[in-house]
A and B are shown apart, each in its own frame.
Chain A
């Protein structure tokens, strides 16, 4: 057999270059004064199926083309931290405030114009205009409707320290939304109470999951009786399997209970794109009426701007209390993680 080495190398090289050739190379970050090239790059921690239709709509109305890179929020957050100022992205759309806060802390976000951030009430957006809240996701208790009636579902998360729940409830302590909830508990009830609650829950044999989705699946299969999740996951699964087929049902803790807080999803403008008119237009679009209504109708999330009603069947946003805390405050988050770590949950 006589194939020169060079041929083999050529095959390898050609394959690689054919692949790279048919895709776009990284775009350099836009710098300088406010510019518009009718295009920008978006890193989306939101799932493609649920956000792409909105992006299509935006492209159509604005004439700006959006290059989207999908991934999960945590990984994209880590990616942006790693990329630093070299990122090809102009906008980051995240599923939780923690990721936005981490990037803001690393000085990767530009300050947003006040007219964009003012649309969202305090408590549901950043305190320093580095990112803006887009939608809200309520913390809920999901329960196995075959094992218990709606009336028996606890109205406060404090119930899960009771021995009757031992080994029967699920939490995802490494998940950002759970940690935000514990932070809220600390702010609402004080450090001492929070410490006691976490210790009691940890001692009550909670079933540990990696994420909310898995908790919901476990409740839906009757593996556990109840779990702490975000409301949104239930609606997503119900849309897939049909509401009538849902064994897991939702219960909203009493207003004022830490278990009822609302987590926000949001968007930030990468610092290299501070002057990018296209990216700014998109972020403004997200907190506009059209996009907010889209989230209500298609993803069952809470709108964060005035004048848009919450999805049917959900308690009004006003009735849920968000404690006076910065959801993205990482120092607070670190304290929460220390608390969870102290009791062996993370």
Chain B
């Protein structure tokens, strides 16, 4: 059973179907990544789960609680979900600490008396102070803010002191958690993109949501920062035992972070499984190509093997994964043979087994390289192999290519 269960979800804008019959289960405490190209509807899925847009039909339950269903459309603020948008979307008029504390509940009484940390009190005068330069500067003076944001400092006069205290300490706790405890008094405009995204995450985590929704949270960051931050975030979400739904178009991100990956295309989920499942046994060649590099060859099925340009290879029939073709085809059936570049092995040209090939191009990536080989057959078929840096051949070098694991065979066409 999933902690979060999405059943037969449909979203349409007028005639256009954006989500078509989506079903998805997210086990408690796991991180599920929805992976798909731009415009596949994955952000729409996230917004539908969040309650930010109306669905046409289908149900969504979280922890057994129906939040979307026939006649039920729970308001976003009542779903207990956290939201981390792509552009961080920090409130520019609040400090980092105030942003983190934005969703923390305040009792009704303290709500009236409570003055937003660092903001001038005093009704309309305070409201207008936001219009002037000096007013804005005054709000950013760190003295006032730290008095509220630090758990050690006295809390503001409030009938519910303990509430204020726990609120302030929760802000401090989260600021520390995302490594920004020094910056709670800063204005969002003074943060870098990575810092802003951390604040956004802390803000979403603060009210302890039942489900975290992350909308391409790392897409706007530069690559180095991206990989560092996403490792941090994944660890943090796991430590907090959060159930999370992450939307991304970056397969590396999905595969490295998620417990389960849902691959989406044109409003439909094509495959749901562990990252290894999705990568090693994609349901079709499109999924295979979207989650990683592929080598695709034409072949003929012969009793558990395929005959192709790389010779006769042991193969798994994957027709069972996609609809319809459960049993293996009869011998002689043309099939599509699919390999990952790293499944290919290189050997000396003098080796007995293998297929003769010449290295024609090398795309060097430091730790390894993607090498293009031309086979010796009549069609000069090209295949690409991922080769670890120490084993890299020269361009023009002759090698024997082997295959280290079973190839995947798909129905043709």
A–B proximity contact (CB within 8 A) = yes
Residue numbers of A with Cβ under 8 A of B are 1-4, 7, 11
Q: Which residue of B has the minimal Cβ distance to A4?
A: B112
Cβ-closest 4 pairs across A and B: A1-B127, A3-B123, A1-B119, A3-B127
Contacts of B123 in A (CB 8 A): 3, 7
Q: Are B130 and A1 in contact (CB under 8 A)?
A: yes
| 7 CB < 8 A contacts A-B | A1-B93, A1-B126, A1-B130, A2-B111, A2-B114, A2-B116, A4-B112
Report how far A1 CA is from B116 CA in the complex, Å: 6
Q: Which residue of A has the minimal Cβ distance to B129?
A: A1
Q: Are A3 and B124 in contact (CB under 8 A)?
A: yes
Report how far A11 CA is from B126 CA in the complex, Å: 15
Please tell me if B115 contacts chain A, counting CB pairs below 8 Å.
Answer: yes
Determine how close the nearest CB of chain B comes to the CB of A307; give it in whole angstroms. Answer: 65
Determine how close the nearest CB of chain B comes to the CB of A339; give it in whole angstroms. Answer: 60
Q: Which residue of B has the minimal Cβ distance to A11?
A: B124
Report how far A4 CA is from B127 CA in the complex, Å: 11
Interface residues of B in 71-104 (CB under 8 A from A): 93
Q: Which residue of A has the minimal Cβ distance to B123?
A: A3
Scoring A2, A4, A11 by chain B CB atoms within 10 A of each residue's CB, the highest score goes to: A2
Contacts of B115 in A (CB 8 A): 2
Determine how close the nearest CB of chain A comes to the CB of B164; give it in whole angstroms. Answer: 14
Report how far A4 CA is from B111 CA in the complex, Å: 10
Determine how close the nearest CB of chain B comes to the CB of A284; give it in whole angstroms. Answer: 54
Report how far A4 CA is from B108 CA in the complex, Å: 12
Determine how close the nearest CB of chain A comes to the CB of B156; give it in whole angstroms. Answer: 12
**Extra pairs beyond A2-B111, A2-B114, A3-B124 (16, CB < 8 Å):** A1-B93, A1-B116, A1-B119, A1-B126, A1-B127, A1-B130, A2-B115, A2-B116, A2-B119, A3-B123, A3-B126, A3-B127, A4-B112, A7-B123, A7-B124, A11-B124
Determine how close the nearest CB of chain A comes to the CB of B236; give it in whole angstroms. Answer: 31
Determine how close the nearest CB of chain B comes to the CB of A318; give it in whole angstroms. Answer: 68
Report how far A2 CA is from B93 CA in the complex, Å: 13
Report how far A2 CA is from B102 CA in the complex, Å: 12
Contacts of A7 in B (CB 8 A): 123-124
Report how far A209 CA is from B212 CA in the complex, Å: 74
Determine how close the nearest CB of chain B comes to the CB of A121; give it in whole angstroms. Answer: 64
Contacts of B114 in A (CB 8 A): 2
Scoring A1, A2, A3, A11 by chain B CB atoms within 10 A of each residue's CB, the highest score goes to: A1
Interface residues of B in 91-150 (CB under 8 A from A): 93, 111-112, 114-116, 119, 123-124, 126-127, 130
Report how far A3 CA is from B122 CA in the complex, Å: 9
Contacts of A2 in B (CB 8 A): 111, 114-116, 119
Contacts of A4 in B (CB 8 A): 112
Contacts of B119 in A (CB 8 A): 1-2
Determine how close the nearest CB of chain B comes to the CB of A6; give it in whole angstroms. Answer: 11
Report how far A262 CA is from B93 CA in the complex, Å: 71
Report how far A7 CA is from B126 CA in the complex, Å: 13
Report how far A85 CA is from B186 CA in the complex, Å: 67
Determine how close the nearest CB of chain B comes to the CB of A184; give it in whole angstroms. Answer: 62
Report how far A132 CA is from B335 CA in the complex, Å: 110
Determine how close the nearest CB of chain A comes to the CB of B104; give it in whole angstroms. Answer: 14
Determine how close the nearest CB of chain B comes to the CB of A110; give it in whole angstroms. Answer: 51
Determine how close the nearest CB of chain A comes to the CB of B242; give it in whole angstroms. Answer: 30
Contacts of A3 in B (CB 8 A): 123-124, 126-127
Report how far A183 CA is from B411 CA in the complex, Å: 101
Report how far A4 CA is from B116 CA in the complex, Å: 13
Determine how close the nearest CB of chain A comes to the CB of B72; give it in whole angstroms. Answer: 28
Q: CB-defined interface of B275-297 with A at 8 Å, one 1/0 digit per residue?
A: 00000000000000000000000
